[in-house]
Chains A and B, each alone.
Chain A
Amino acid sequence: MAVPSPTKAPPTLLWTTFRRSLGLGRLFIVVGLLYVVVLAVAESLTAPASFASSFPIFLPIFTVLGSMGSLMVFSNDRTKGVFEYLLAYGLLPQQLFLNVLLVSLMLESLVLGLMLGLGLGIFVATGNTISWVLVAGLSIYSVPMSYASTAFAAMVGVFWTSLSTPRSGLNSPIGLVPFIGIGPSVLTLGLVAVLAIDGFTDIYLVIGAAVGVIAALVLLFLGLLNRLMPRERLLSPI
């Protein structure tokens, strides 16, 4: 069967979806920022030395939480019948899936920037100085792991949402995906710890490999979605 002609393609809706994701996911962003404030204030005042290790470790978890807006938009649009219109206008399911991934990464950039600014700002404002250990932890672990975990959570969420009947609350994919998004970080840290016990201390290599594997999984999920997810799964019930 012929694919739609690209001569007069419909808009990608990337920017519109981003704005809607910010609106719908604002509670997740606020909660994520609150966690950062609590962590930064508590550690800056009581144990500033441990902030250099704990902040980079927790940051990817908080940013995954703050990037849930795009998945909320996807889930809501499916339930409310918005995809029906978008498909009728000629948007392809692949574009919808890719939109979720891209908007998640856009949100991730915003949330990560806010959290870094807030966490480091509080740390410095309470009289502490930023060490090279902290900078290394953030740049080598936190930033790549945040993007990888967010992309992973988004793709698992899209897959799960598409396959499930609409539900709400904590029992829905949106309620559970943040926990799945934490998975890559926890597994990577666990792997680093286990390998360290065995005498393998090249943390950079382990983290790099973990991020690579997660990125490959994200691409695999996207490919599977594009090839296997029938468009009927995107429609609201009759």
Chain B
Amino acid sequence: MGARGTAPEPRSTTRGIGISCRSVDSGYLERTVLHDVSFQIDEPAIYVVLGPNGAGKTTLFRTLAGILRPSRGEVYVGEESIDRQTSRDRMHYLSHVDGIPDGLRVRDALEFYAAVEKASIGDVDRVMDLLGIRELGGKYFSQLSAGQKKRVSIARVFLREREIYLLDEPTTSLDPKLAREIRTLILELSREKIVLYSSHNLFEAREIGRFVLVIKEGKLIRFDRIENLRGARYAVGVRTLSPADDLSGFTREGDYFVRELSGPEEVPDLIRDLEGRGVKIREVREMDNPLEDLFT
């Protein structure tokens, strides 16, 4: 699929308020970052926006959220322009920056956003429990670790229910366990809501996404079902100190013993397994990375 498209084969039974981008050019002052981006999303699911750093993911999210005004084209929520307050009220935006006001304790910061969102104090308590940050409530935001800051930042998303969620790299700076917990929460959310989720990690996209939008140099180059990317191969090559080794479960490509994995997160386990088998490893390298194929 090219730069224009709708989510492939949407399920008509789950259609609700959708979001669409119509021939949008957008950027900063005189610099256009997004070029002629068009798509329509109606089906509740996670749509992973993939792209290398600098591709225009954050600019796309800022434009969809109504923060940046397109220099050409329009963004619609349902049939209404994003500039209408009713459209804003249907959407939640999580920036790649924390956006927590300075000089506030965690609880005060969440109450600040509750005031912005017209949510209640009860909602603040609920999200603090949901994200496991109740014990951080009395601490200043500046005293928290990067992971704790991210959790507080994400807590805002759950203050009030919306129909569309724009989450710009929500799991950056999180340890793998917490990242998984957050992804689980977002997966839960996506059963009835549209979630646009930006990442530069294809393997994360494959874990949670149902659709993928690939952005490259400000253009939407692919909008597809995630399973159409799943056929792509991720393989690592292992070179041993003794070239005469014969490793079961690997194929031989020159000096390397090659094994296909579901993603780079399996590499540490593979190394542990080989070390357990007494293999002396000289080098481990990626032989094929579908992410690179996608972006180049």
Contacts and interface: CB of A to CB of B under 8 A. Distances in A.
A212 interface: no
Interface in A4-45: 4-11, 13, 16, 20, 23-24
Interface stretch (B2-10, B15-23, B98-106, B183-191): B98-106
Contacts, number: 104
A228 to B, nearest CB: 12
B103 A76 contact: yes
A231 B68 contact: yes
Contacts of A3: 83
Contacts of A85: 93, 95, 99, 113, 116, 156
Interface stretch (B58-66, B172-180, B215-223): B58-66
Nearest to A90: B88
Contact of A84 (B91, B97, B117): B97
User: Residue among A9, A73, A80, A89 with the most chain B CB within 10 A?
Assistant: A89
Contacts of A84: 62, 67, 93, 95, 97, 99
Contacts of B97: 80-81, 84, 236
Give chain A's interface secondary structure class.
helix
Contact of A1 (B69, B85, B99, B116): B69
A80 B83 contact: no
A170 interface: no
B250 interface: no
Contacts of A20: 101, 103-104, 112
A229 to B, nearest CB: 11
A24 B103 contact: yes
Contacts of A231: 67-69
B134 interface: no
A89 B83 contact: no
B99 A82 contact: yes
B46 to A, nearest CB: 20
Given A5-B85, A24-B102, A80-B100, A10 B95 contact: no
A235 interface: yes
Contacts of B99: 80-82, 84-85, 236
A6 B179 CA distance: 38
A88 B83 CA distance: 10
B103 A8 contact: no
Nearest to B74: A1
Contacts of B102: 24, 73, 76-77, 80
Contacts of B81: 1-2
Contact of B85 (A7, A16, A86, A238): A7
A230 B101 CA distance: 22
Contact of A238 (B86, B96, B100, B101): B96
Give chain B's interface secondary structure class.
loop
Interface string B150-190: 00000010000000000000000000000000000000000
A232 interface: yes
Contacts of B116: 10-11, 13, 85-86, 89
Nearest to B58: A238
Interface in A43-76: 73, 76
Given A2-B81, A231-B69, A89 B115 contact: no
A89 B100 contact: no
Contacts of B104: 20, 23
Interface string A217-238: 0000000000000111001101
A213 interface: no
A216 interface: no
B295 interface: no
A88 B66 contact: yes
B115 A235 contact: no
A39 B86 CA distance: 55
Interface string B174-218: 000000000000000000000000000000000000000000000
A12 to B, nearest CB: 10
A4 B95 contact: no
B16 to A, nearest CB: 19
A11 B113 CA distance: 11
8 contacts: A1-B83, A3-B83, A4-B84, A23-B104, A76-B102, A90-B85, A231-B69, A236-B99
Q: Please name the 7 residue pairs, one residue from A and one from B, whose CB atoms are nearest each other, closest first.
A: A81-B97, A76-B102, A90-B88, A81-B99, A88-B93, A88-B65, A5-B85
Interface of A: 1-11, 13, 16, 20, 23-24, 73, 76-77, 80-82, 84-90, 230-232, 235-236, 238
Given A84-B62, A86-B116, 19 more contacts: A2-B83, A3-B83, A6-B85, A13-B116, A20-B101, A76-B101, A76-B103, A77-B101, A80-B102, A82-B100, A84-B67, A84-B99, A85-B156, A87-B66, A90-B66, A90-B89, A232-B28, A236-B95, A238-B96
